[in-house]
Amino acid sequence: MKILLTGGCGFIGSAVIRHAMSHGAHEIVNIDKMTYAASEDALEAARTDPRHVLIRADICDPAAMRAAFSTHQPDVVMHLAAESHVDRSIDGPAAFVQTNVTGTFTLLEAAREYFATLTGEKREKFRFHHISTDEVFGALADSDPPFNEHTPYDPRSPYSASKAASDHLARAWMHTYGLPVIVSNTTNNYGPWQFPEKLIPLMIINALEEKPLPVYGQGLNTRDWLFVDDHAQALLKIVTTGTPGATYCIGARQPQRNIEVVRAICAILDELRPSPNGPRTRLITHVTDRPGHDHRYEIDPTSAKSALDWTAAHDFERGLRATIAWYLAHEEWWQNIRAGRYAGQRLGGVAA
């Protein structure tokens, strides 16, 4: 299968590529603008695999998108490219509307034009898989049931609003034009190669450097955590076996309060690399909460598990230990980011 995948040098996109390259004879056409959070290193062996092609292009560029479809003739599309950091969306929402809304529109139009040229089995098997977030559903109280495929949309931030808009566009292109669209929504991902502005890598790195561990408010906001390799496996199952028009909610049912996540990171680091200054929980610093901070996200993956015959392989403790071990073993990668592109930026992503 030849997959046209957007955002393949990002955190989740690169995990999908690594999984696809090692599980089958897939070919990947990777379209990435190579913004600040993109890393070719995250492709690992796929970087030099002849089955992988990297196209440095913006999904908002109609000519570039049409050329990618025309030249490479993909079997399916996996659309992961997005601006995804909530704090950045609060500070600068325009980039989120441009990439997440205009970019998705541009890609859908290029896919629609390409799909119109297909015939026979290639047309029958073509899929446009749009990958989204649980944040489009809004926020949950502690007593509310988790999100599922039928939860109404209620986005609360510029980021989640832009993703909700892109979800609606994708579904509209199926109902109006017949483009075979599949949508999946996932919860917070974590794991190797995540850019150090997100909660878990930020806390790991700050703790290693004996810097403050900033936690919004009292840290009682709850997120449902999914190890990125488990998500990548689910996404490949969706694009190969999913039903056009369906929505799949992908989660691991591993909810944790933010303060619990930070304390767990401290405990594992104290075990693996003890600090001469004592337990790292002393570094936890509570800071002013961010505007419109959603209290809780959690996904009920029951339907997706049944439809896809998929279950997340990692529980949170196992996944977190693997993630921390990875950051300990790849210090040069994140040190280069901290010293270069990331140096001097304010602490973003202090809460998930």
Extract the tokens encoding 128: 């446009």
Amino acid at 6: T
- Establish if 53 belongs to a structural domain: yes
Give the model confidence (pLDDT) of 75-128 as tens digits: 999 999 999 888 889 999 999 999 999 999 999 999 999 999 999 999 999 999
Which residue range forms the structural domain that includes residue 13? 2-193+228-253+293-313
Q: Is 200 helix (H, G, I), strand (E, B) or coil?
A: helix
- Establish if 287 belongs to a structural domain: no
Positions of the chain with pLDDT under 50: 343-349, 351
Phi-psi region of 324 (alpha: psi -120 to 50; beta: other; left: phi over 0): alpha
- Establish if 351 belongs to a structural domain: no
Q: Is 145 helix (H, G, I), strand (E, B) or coil?
A: coil
- Establish if 234 belongs to a structural domain: yes
What global pTM score does this model have?
0.94
- ∠ CA 241-116-174, nearest 5°, is 55
- Whichever domain contains 243, its CATH number is 3.40.50.720
pLDDT at residue number 348 = 41
- Establish if 141 belongs to a structural domain: yes
- The catalytic site residues sit at 134-135, 159
Asked if residues 315 and 222 have their Cβ atoms less than 8 Å apart, the reply is no
- Burial class, 346, CB count within 10 angstroms (exposed 0-12 / middle 13-18 / buried 19+): exposed
H/E run at residue 5: strand 2-6
Number of domains present in the structure of the chain: 1
pLDDT at residue number 273 = 97
Asked if residues 173 and 195 have their Cβ atoms less than 8 Å apart, the reply is no
- Establish if 218 belongs to a structural domain: no
- Establish if 210 belongs to a structural domain: no
Query: Cα–Cα distance between 243 and 184 in angstroms, integer?
Result: 11
- Establish if 97 belongs to a structural domain: yes
